[in-house]
Homo-oligomer: A and B are copies of this chain.
Amino acid sequence: MSEALTINEAAATTGWSARMLRYVEQAGLIEPRRSPSGYRLYGAAELQRLRTLKELLAAQDIALGEVGFAQRLRRDRELRDSIDGWLDAEPRRPAEVADRDWLAFEKDKHTALLDVVRARRTPTETTPA
């Protein structure tokens, strides 16, 4: 037994709806354990978590999916690294010291293509009908 609430009881104490509790679970944020017959069982820890989650969403004005994404970010190091890497690249300067280096590297690859496009500025086909 171990004092645990079923979904509607948990809903009543936490202010979520039963529907939302299932949704939160599906979002991978709070997964209560199950009784042998499959009933969701919310313990004190889960209830607390549900309440704080609610406060978090309200306080920061974010959505469930965003918390889920943050969770994914911390679990998936590769994802985190590649996004961070992209964001770390030049944030706002057109030609900075640090930029020049990686720019030189990449620009090389596309230099020809750039010229091609600039040459096409006269013909009537920039945007193919």
Contact = CB atoms under 8 A, between A and B. Distances in A.
Given A13-B113, A114-B44, A86 B67 contact: yes
Q: By DSSP majority rule, is chain A's interface helix, strand, loop, or mixed?
A: helix
Interface of A: 2-3, 5, 8-9, 11-13, 18, 33, 43-49, 51-53, 56, 59-60, 62, 66-67, 69-71, 73-74, 78-79, 82-84, 86-87, 89-90, 93-95, 99, 103, 106-107, 110, 113-114, 117-118, 120-121, 126-127
The 3 closest A-B pairs by CB, nearest first: A70-B83, A43-B94, A13-B117
5 contacts: A13-B114, A47-B114, A62-B79, A66-B83, A70-B73
